């Protein structure tokens, strides 16, 4: 736990250093594409003490690049060297567009089996008012759930503060009270996935300045403010994994992922029609859908091929057949998402908006299908505008990387943003001794 | 990352009479290489995008090469001398173009002696380049001539150096033990005169330090209109006051302060009582409250005779 605190804190310091320098790269390591944005902060350091506790800054995008992902499966790095090359390609192109060198990277990924925990802690206040150290103490007082071996905490965000009988405080500092309690949302992922990511980014001569869950950041970018406030689920349908994040009162309160995505649909098409993956992807993109109509029986799609067998190369299928292949897989994904939402008790939220985003959400007719499976309030989401974002990167597939830009500019307070109190730190014996002296003399 | 190309359709419409179908096929390009940059090229590009490295290569390296090349090339003594000689040659060529040559010195407003002196003072032999003529220095040299009050030097097109000379006008003569000098109104020397008869129209003054009070002397002379025919000259006494020397060895001693008022008073007395026609040697006006007249010996005798006669007459009565 302390190791993690230290490493996350080191990443925070790196992020601060990057903000001082004014340039940071954002990397979305997805299964089908790797997107890289280069962000420039106009006011390094930002305006302190406004809004979030960690400060924020005005930022704009000065470089953007996308490349086909390699060596990534289910949103996790599978072949290190391949992924490293893909990251190099994307970062180099983005650097070239930005015409500057980038040293710090904030990365996000969707896989690694995220798991959500809600934890709580409470302390008696020492003074009359809540101070910053009290916030640190109450965060440290949370009981650590058994997250299991080989798991790592990715996000640990205080979601709600309660002071005596008052709950729902977003920033308790300065309030008067006696007993401070906190609800914290903990998102854990597989340890090895993070290690692999760190290794890949180190190999590219870059410094990792932060890691985020793709589900979380796409929720930041594609949910509008009232949806985040009143309760909504963001479903980020990527290539290899579908992330689910539930927001309430502008905080993520639940995050999970389904290990299914658009690549599985492509794979089904390739297997079902006996065509290469690239052709299957192309057919899916141009002719795909989930609702078959009478017109679709008449629209013929030439499959092509260069096997030399005339019969095989001249095959044609109707669009209805394509839809027949795609729909069961899309339904399966949505049903898994539904199971996650049920497990998270999504139906108890005041507003049950569901926002579909991510590259695979662009299948025509998906909102209708999702409305049947997930609930009535379904809309398709695109990332919100970030200054300087190129037109090519405004589609639904870029919601997580745009979310990273928002995450970098307006970081959420996390547990490691606060000083951990001295008594819980193992090695700080001198500070403990000083404290003992101060308390007893 | 090879592009997909759309092949021409072999069968536009199928046997079922459906819509024209599309064919997709990969473009063949044998031996395509990995599109990802190698570690080396990635690092090099990052290095190139580093601002310090960029500035160094874009400014530092060219400057270094140019400086090094120049240094090596100029390291040789002979080459350096050659370069300087070439430069001098070029400079001379330009300076000695006919447009810049001065061939004539034209002097206005100066007498023949002054003109000759100015000509001999010219620093260069004509014709000369106008770059070689230092007109300021030449002007200062000309101004050092006593006879020249001011001079303007202009080079006119056509290679004419025009010197417009303002000569000093002699206003008064100053007799010194060495000879007679002509002075202008400010007391500056104009020329030496061999004989007084050469300039009979100019007034004369003597005495040490007279040249420093020339304006005052000129004012006195201008004031002394009625007695001007009798005036022999002015004498500076003790470098502080003036004596008016008249003919018949008569003189008027004027005070140091405000001699003009004293002179006016004498002239008024002269008009009223015909003072200057009396037989005196000195009228002492140095103290204006107590003017004194020193009679000549003859007059004194006559005065005494008159007095004794009158006494006798009174005694005989």
Interface contact A101-B50, CB threshold 8 A:
yes
Partners of A92 on chain B (C-beta within 8 Å) are: 37, 42, 45
DSSP string, A8-62: HHHHHHHHHHHHHHTEEEEEEE-SSEEEEEEEEESSTT-BTTSSSTT-B--EEEE
Cβ atoms of residues B206 and B179 within 8 Å: no
Boundary (domain end) residue, out of B114, B146, B167? B167
Q: Are residues B266 and B285 in the same domain?
A: yes
Cβ contacts of A86 on chain B, cutoff 8 Å: 36
A203 → chain B, closest CA residue: B39
pLDDT tens figures, A182-209: 888 988 888 888 888 888 898 888 888 8
Residues of A within 8 A of B45 (CB-CB) are 92, 95-96
The reply to whether B27 falls in a domain is: no
**8 Å CB contact of B11 and A89:** no
pLDDT digits (tens, 9 = 90+) for A309-351: 888 888 889 999 999 999 999 999 999 999 999 998 888 888 8
Predicted local confidence at residue A48, as pLDDT: 47
Q: How many domains does chain A have?
A: 2
Per-residue pLDDT at A419: 67
Region A6-30 average pLDDT: 82
**Same domain flag for B295 and B188:** yes
Q: Are A217 and A154 in contact (CB under 8 A)?
A: no
Q: Do residue B155 and residue B238 come from a single domain?
A: no
* Contacting residues of A for B42, CB less than 8 Å apart: 88, 91-92, 204-205
Looking at residue B57, the DSSP 8-state letter turns out to be I
Q: Is A145 domain-assigned?
A: yes
Residue A127 lies in a domain: yes
Residue A148 lies in a domain: yes
Is the domain of B220 the same as that of B273? yes
Q: To the nearest whole angstrom, how far is the Cα of A340 from the nearest Cα of chain B?
A: 36
User: How far out from the chain centre does Cα A191 lie?
Assistant: 16
Q: Is A302 on the interface with B (CB under 8 A)?
A: yes
Chain A neighbors of B14, CB-CB under 8 A: 300, 316
Asked, for residue A272, whether it belongs to a domain, the answer is: yes
What is the pLDDT, as a whole number, of residue A348?
87
Question: Do B265 and B209 share a structural domain?
Answer: yes
CA distances from A313 to A267, A273, B154 (A): 19, 12, 100
SS3 of A85, please?
helix
* Cβ <8 Å between A96 and B45: yes
Report CB contact under 8 Å: A92, B42. yes
Name which of B208, B203, B209, B192 is nearest B227 in CA terms: B203
CB proximity A299 to B under 8 Å: yes
Q: Which candidate from B14, B25, B34 shows the least CB-CB separation from A304?
A: B25
Q: How far is B65 from chain A (nearest CA, A)?
A: 26
The nearest alpha carbon in chain A to B27 belongs to A306
Domain that holds residue A303: 263-326
Measured between CA atoms, how close is B12 to chain A, in angstroms? Answer: 10
Per-residue pLDDT at A356: 93
Is B279 a domain residue? yes
How many C-beta atoms lie closer than 10 Å to residue A301's C-beta?
22
Claim to verify: residue B223 and residue B141 sit in the same structural domain: no
pLDDT digits (tens, 9 = 90+) for A148-184: 888 888 888 888 888 888 888 878 888 888 888 888 8
Q: Specify the CATH number for the domain of residue B192.
A: 3.40.50.11690
Residue A244, C-beta contacts closer than 8 angstroms, at least 6 positions apart: A215, A233, A234, A235, A236, A254, A255, A256, A257, A258, A337, A340, A341, A344
B35 in any annotated domain: no
Chain A residues closer than 8 Å to B16 by CB = 300
Q: Would B240 be classed as within a structural domain?
A: yes
**Final residue before a domain boundary, out of A299, A326, A353:** A326
Q: How many other CB atoms sit within 10 Å of the CB of residue B317?
A: 5
What percent of chain A has a predicted confidence (pLDDT) above 90? 22
* Residue B213: inside a domain: yes
Domain that holds residue B91: 56-95
Q: Which chain A positions have a beta carbon within 8 Å of B9's beta carbon?
A: 302
Q: Does B45 contact A95 at a Cβ distance shorter than 8 Å?
A: yes
DSSP three-state, residue A315: coil
Are residues B103 and B60 part of one domain?
A: no
Of B9, B22, B35, the CB nearest to A89: B35
CATH number, residue A319: 3.30.420.40
The predicted model gives A375-399 an average pLDDT of 86
Same domain, B63 and B162: no
Position A368 in a domain: no
- Asked if the Cβ–Cβ distance from A300 to B24 is below 8 Å, we say no
Q: Tell me if B6 is assigned to some domain.
A: no
Query: Is B19 a domain residue?
Result: no
Q: Do B26 and A276 touch (CB under 8 A)?
A: yes
Total number of domains in chain B:
3
Interface subset of A 307-346, CB within 8 angstroms of B: 314, 316, 318
The terminus-to-terminus CA distance of chain A in angstroms comes to 33
Is A286 an 8 Å CB contact of chain B?
yes
**CA proximity to A108, closest of A2, A37, A181:** A37
* Same domain as B259, residue B245: yes
Q: In B, what residues contact A, Cβ < 8 A? A: 1, 4, 7, 9-11, 14, 16, 18-19, 21-26, 34-37, 39, 42-43, 45-46, 49-51
In the listed set A290, A308, A326, which residue is the last one of a domain according to the structure? A326
Q: Which of A346, A336, A387 is nearest to A58 (CA)?
A: A387
Two structure tokens written together for A347:
């139906």
B289 in the same domain as B268: yes
CB pairs under 8 A between A and B: 72
Find out whether A104 and A18 touch, Cβ atoms under 8 Å: yes
Asked if B18's CB is within 8 angstroms of A298's CB, the reply is yes
Joined together, the tokens standing for residue A428 give 């700080």
Q: Which residue in the set B14, B24, B35 is minimally distant from A304, CB to CB?
A: B24
Calculate mean pLDDT across residues A269-288. 89
* pLDDT, averaged across chain A: 84
CA distance to partner chain A, nearest, from residue B57 (Å): 16
Residue A222, min C-alpha distance to chain B (Å): 29
Q: Walk along chain B (317 residues) in steps of 10 and give the mean pLDDT of each run.
A: 45 43 50 79 88 89 95 91 94 88 84 84 79 85 84 86 86 86 84 82 84 84 82 86 85 86 85 81 84 86 90 87
CA-wise closest residue to A358 among A242, A227, A228: A242
Within an 8 Å CB–CB cutoff, is residue A283 touching chain B? Answer: yes
- Whether residue B136 is found in the same domain as residue B253: no
**B262 is a domain residue:** yes
Any domain includes A277? yes
Asked if A202 reaches chain B (Cβ–Cβ under 8 Å), the answer is no
- State the Cα–Cα distance between residues B147 and A121, nearest whole angstrom: 112
| pLDDT of A250 above 80 | yes
Q: Do B109 and B87 have their domain in common? A: no
B42 contacts A204? CB cut-off 8 A: yes
What CA–CA distances, in Å, run from A140 to A113, A181, A254, A440?
Answer: 25, 11, 21, 24
CATH number of the domain to which B146 belongs: 3.10.20.310
């Amino acid at each position: 736990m302390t190791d993690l605190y230290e490493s996350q804190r080191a990443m925070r310091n790196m992020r601060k250093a990057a903000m001082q320098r004014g340039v940071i790269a954002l990397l979305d390591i997805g299964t089908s594409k790797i997107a890289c944005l280069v962000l420039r902060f106009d006011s390094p350091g930002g305006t302190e003490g406004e809004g979030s506790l960690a400060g924020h800054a005005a930022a704009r995008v000065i470089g953007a690049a996308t490349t086909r992902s390699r060596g990534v499966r289910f949103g996790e790095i599978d072949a290190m060297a391949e992924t490293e090359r893909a990251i190099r390609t994307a970062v180099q192109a983005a650097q070239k567009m930005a015409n500057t060198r980038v040293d710090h990277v904030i990365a996000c990924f969707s896989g690694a089996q995220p798991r959500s925990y809600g934890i709580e802690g409470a302390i008696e206040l020492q003074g009359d008012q809540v101070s910053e150290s009290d916030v640190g103490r109450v965060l440290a007082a949370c009981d650590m759930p058994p997250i299991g071996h080989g798991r790592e905490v990715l996000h640990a965000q205080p979601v709600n503060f309660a002071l005596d009988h008052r709950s729902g405080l977003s920033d308790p500092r300065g309030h008067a009270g006696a007993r401070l309690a906190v609800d914290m949302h903990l998102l854990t992922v597989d340890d090895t996935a993070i290690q692999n990511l760190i290794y890949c980014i180190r190999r590219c001569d870059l410094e990792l300045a932060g890691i985020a869950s793709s589900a979380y950041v796409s929720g930041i970018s594609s949910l509008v403010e009232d949806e985040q406030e009143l309760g909504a689920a963001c479903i980020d349908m990527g290539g290899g994994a579908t992330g689910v994040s539930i927001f309430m009162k502008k905080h993520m309160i639940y995050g999970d992922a389904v290990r299914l995505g658009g690549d599985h649909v492509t794979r089904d098409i390739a297997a079902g029609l006996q065509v290469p993956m690239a052709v299957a992807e192309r057919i899916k993109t141009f002719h795909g859908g989930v609702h078959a109509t009478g017109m679709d029986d008449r629209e013929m799609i030439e499959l092509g091929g260069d096997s030399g067998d005339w019969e095989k190369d001249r095959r044609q299928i109707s669009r209805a057949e394509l839809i027949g292949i795609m729909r069961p897989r899309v339904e399966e994904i949505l049903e898994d998402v539904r199971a996650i939402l049920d497990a998270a008790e999504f139906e108890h939220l005041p507003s049950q908006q569901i926002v579909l985003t991510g590259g695979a959400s662009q299948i025509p007719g998906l909102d209708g299908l999702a409305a049947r499976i997930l609930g009535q309030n379904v809309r398709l989401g695109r990332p919100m505008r970030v200054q300087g974002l190129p037109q090519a990167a405004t589609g639904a597939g870029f919601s997580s990387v745009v979310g990273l830009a928002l995450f970098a500019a307006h970081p959420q307070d996390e547990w490691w943003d606060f000083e951990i109190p001295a008594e819980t730190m193992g090695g700080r014996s001198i500070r403990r001794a000083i404290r003992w002296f101060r308390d007893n003399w | 990352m090879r592009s997909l190309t759309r092949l021409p359709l072999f069968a536009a419409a199928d046997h079922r009479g459906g819509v024209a179908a599309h064919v997709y096929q990969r473009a063949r390009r044998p031996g395509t290489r990995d599109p990802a940059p190698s570690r080396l090229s990635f690092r090099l590009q990052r290095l190139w995008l580093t601002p310090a490295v960029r500035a160094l290569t874009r400014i530092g390296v060219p400057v270094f090469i140019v400086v090094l090349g120049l240094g090596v090339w100029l390291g040789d003594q002979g080459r350096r001398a050659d370069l300087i000689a070439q430069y001098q040659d070029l400079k001379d060529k330009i300076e000695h173009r006919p447009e810049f040559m001065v061939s004539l010195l034209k002097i206005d407003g100066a007498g023949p002696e002054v003109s000759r002196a100015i000509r001999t003072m010219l620093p260069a032999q004509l014709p000369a380049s106008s770059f070689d003529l230092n007109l300021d220095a030449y002007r200062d040299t000309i101004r050092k001539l006593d006879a020249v009050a001011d001079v303007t030097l202009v080079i006119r097109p056509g290679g004419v150096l025009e010197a417009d000379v303002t000569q000093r006008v002699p206003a008064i003569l100053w007799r010194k033990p060495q000879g007679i000098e002509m002075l202008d109104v400010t007391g500056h020397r104009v020329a030496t005169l061999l004989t007084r008869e050469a300039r009979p129209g100019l007034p004369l003054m003597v005495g040490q330090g007279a040249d420093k009070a020339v304006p005052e002397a000129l004012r006195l002379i201008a004031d002394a209109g009625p007695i001007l025919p009798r005036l022999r000259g002015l004498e500076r006494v003790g470098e502080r006051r003036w004596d008016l020397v008249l003919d018949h060895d008569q003189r008027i001693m004027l005070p140091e302060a405000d001699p003009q008022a004293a002179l006016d008073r004498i002239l008024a007395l002269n008009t009223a009582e015909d003072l200057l026609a009396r037989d005196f040697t000195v009228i002492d006006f140095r103290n204006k409250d107590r003017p004194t007249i020193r009679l000549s010996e003859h007059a004194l005798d006559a005065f005494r005779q008159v007095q004794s006669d009158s006494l006798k007459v009174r005694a005989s009565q």
